[in-house]
């Protein structure tokens, strides 16, 4: 079970990639309408590398555009946030100090590679999925905060990553398939070895599934949440099947879901879906909560992803 960032054993804080203000936010789950301008106390923690000397070499003014991922991990007794931004930033940030475990800028500072998510491995190295770049990279981040050495594998539309501790594989999701990679080489010179792959469910034959978010199902070990352009599934690793037999599927399984995840203590699920009329077509001001149905609202927001702040242990 993951460790929550908040106090008590109730609903954990909510972790957002907030693109309108270019920040990662940790927000108070007891407040349903977050208005940081009127009530700054609803923001429990915030991160941006812009202007932070610890991240100067990442060219954050250029690379920290459209933060696209934030998820919490425990590694060697410390909590870290893994974060990416579409114009190249990738970082593993200690919580709550903001200290740099590792960070880099992928690509030339534009959206050529589009880092979409990251994952930490038990040896301290860090995997990155680059959607436009069609590749998964495994950086030798354990060597130091500025390390740029990596191994990589091609994956069309790489969007999702999850380290499977039980099976010792890195799951990666692209436009059309879910792939299990073994880790080869060494910690210093890592490599990714494709083990096997399964095609994602498609709504229209001959069309791309549009794989998007990949996240472990906290309430059902051995399953992973999978969101595609058309719907939301749980992939059962044991059977190799994509299922929609989960509680709340009638409300959770819908098109254009950008993120999905459940809290192991409450069973509540969070998702985000774009809404019209905002600064970008993929933004929303609403975090949907399921089981039971409710919602959070961020006044003036441009939310991309939302996750419960519970840190799962990777090493």
Residue 109 has a pLDDT of 44
Residue 113 has a pLDDT of 84
Task: Tell me which residue has tokens 């060219």.
Answer: 59
What are the two backbone dihedrals, phi and then psi, of residue 108, each rounded to the nearest 5 degrees? Answer: -90, 15
Task: Tell me which residue has tokens 């909590």.
Answer: 79
Residue 206 has a pLDDT of 80
Residue 8 has a pLDDT of 41
Q: Which CATH number fits domain 12-313: 3.30.300.180, 3.40.50.300, 2.130.10.10, 3.30.360.10?
A: 2.130.10.10
Residue 5 has a pLDDT of 56
Residue 7 has a pLDDT of 42
* The two structure tokens encoding residue 114: 């589009």
Name residues of the chain where pLDDT drops below 70: 1-9, 108-112
Predicted TM-score of the model (pTM):
0.95
* The two structure tokens encoding residue 159: 């969007």
* The two structure tokens encoding residue 147: 């390390």
d(CA 101, CA 85): 17
d(CA 71, CA 68): 10
Which residues, listed in sequence order, are joined to residue 303 by a DSSP beta bridge? 18, 284
Contacts 24+ apart (CB under 8 A), 124-127: 124/75, 124/76, 124/187, 124/315, 125/187, 125/190, 126/82, 126/90, 126/92, 126/102, 127/161, 127/163, 127/170, 127/172, 127/192
Return the SS3 of 234: strand
Q: How many Cα neighbours within 13 Å face the side chain of 17?
A: 25
Residue 10 has a pLDDT of 86
Convert the pLDDT of each residue in 171-202 to its tens digit: 999 999 999 999 999 999 999 999 999 999 99
Residue 309 has a pLDDT of 98
Residue 312 has a pLDDT of 93
CA angle 181, 140, 217 (to 5 degrees): 45
């Amino acid at each position: 079970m993951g460790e929550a960032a908040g106090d008590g054993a109730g609903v954990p804080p909510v972790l957002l990639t907030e693109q309108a203000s270019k920040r990662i936010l940790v927000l108070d789950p007891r407040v349903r309408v977050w208005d940081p301008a009127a009530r700054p106390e609803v923001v429990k923690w915030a991160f941006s590398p812009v202007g932070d000397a610890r991240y100067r070499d990442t060219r954050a003014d250029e690379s920290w555009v459209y933060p696209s991922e934030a998820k919490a991990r425990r590694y060697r007794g410390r909590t870290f946030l893994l974060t990416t931004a579409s114009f190249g930033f990738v970082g593993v940030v200690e919580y709550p100090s903001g200290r740099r475990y590792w960070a880099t800028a992928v690509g030339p500072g534009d959206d050529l590679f589009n880092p979409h998510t990251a994952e930490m491995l038990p040896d301290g190295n860090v995997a990155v999925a680059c959607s436009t770049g069609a590749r998964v990279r495994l950086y030798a981040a354990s060597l130091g905060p500025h390390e740029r050495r990596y191994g990589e594998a091609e994956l069309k539309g790489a969007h999702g990553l999850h380290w499977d501790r039980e099976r010792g594989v890195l799951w990666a999701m692209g436009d059309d398939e879910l792939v299990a990679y073994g880790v080869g080489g060494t910690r210093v010179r890592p490599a990714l070895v494709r083990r096997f792959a399964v095609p994602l469910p498609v709504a229209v034959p001959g069309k791309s599934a549009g794989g998007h978010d990949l996240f472990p199902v906290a309430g059902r070990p051995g399953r992973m949440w999978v969101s595609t352009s058309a719907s939301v599934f749980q992939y059962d690793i044991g059977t190799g099947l994509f299922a929609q037999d989960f509680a709340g599927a009638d409300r959770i399984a819908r098109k254009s879901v950008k993120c999905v995840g459940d809290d192991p203590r409450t069973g509540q699920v969070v998702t985000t879906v774009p809404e019209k009329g905002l600064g970008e077509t993929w933004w929303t001001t609403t975090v949907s909560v399921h089981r039971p149905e409710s919602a959070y609202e961020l006044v003036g927001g441009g939310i991309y992803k939302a996750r419960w702040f519970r840190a799962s242990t990777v090493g």
